[in-house]
Amino acid sequence: MINAKRLSGRISIITGGGNGIGEATAWRLSQEGAAVAVADFNEEAAKRVCQRLTDAGGDAISVFTNVLNSDSILKLTSEVTKRWGRIDILINSAGGFDQFLPITDISDEEWDKVVELNLRSTFSCCRAVIPIMTKQHYGRIINIASQAGVAPSPNAPSYLPYAAAKAGVIGFTKLLARDVGQFGITVNAISPGTTATERVVRIRGPETLQNMASLNPMRKLVEPEDSAATAAFLASDDARLITGTNINVNAGTVM
């Protein structure tokens, strides 16, 4: 059930907010009362999500953001603080990969591209908001990792550079949580199972996804809204003493 007041007055940034888990999280946080900056490299997608939020009565802006460019990230935080005066919540949802390759076919460039998009982007965005949250003595950071970074899935292949990057996100989350806890900042990760986003459906196909769902303990397909609900909880004061954790949202595929 959505609590329309749980995040009232909170200011959030969601990278990768133009689609998939990021879009679902933007909607959920907005429905729970947060103002939302939808940050995405796909400017049109960010604008579309922003319009959806404002049409529903939410307070939102869209910001073109390249999470691989530090200047672009600083421009994002500047626009948000100029508009609302603070940053309370950061959801690092930007990431992913485009193909599966065996290790012998993974070039140095391919490895770097995937690791930078999924791991370095998380570091860079956290680095940009930490000074603001430290000054406020308040912050909620939620990093979207993956079950691929926890353990190999028994019913689906994982991609090596992606799994390595997401494992790095989980380790980074724990260490950052320790370092910034004294400033009232919590840092947690969510590891979704294979989720039926538009990108994943394109890469794996609907038939493969349904077969994967039939093999997990709950016989359920993981949807973007499942991770979005978990993110809203971690962003709220209901989770005020939860930090340095990784929550698996995967219908029991990996335990």
- So which residues are the catalytic ones? 159
Q: Which pairs from 40-43 meet CB under 8 Å and 24+ separation? A: 40/15, 40/16, 40/64, 40/65, 40/94, 41/65, 41/66, 41/67, 41/94, 42/18
- Number of other CB atoms surrounding residue 86 within 10 Å: 16
Q: Which pairs from 132-135 meet CB under 8 Å and 24+ separation? A: 132/77, 132/81, 132/86, 132/87, 133/87, 133/88, 133/180, 133/183, 133/184, 133/185, 134/180, 134/183, 134/185
Indicate the SS3 state at residue 53. Answer: helix
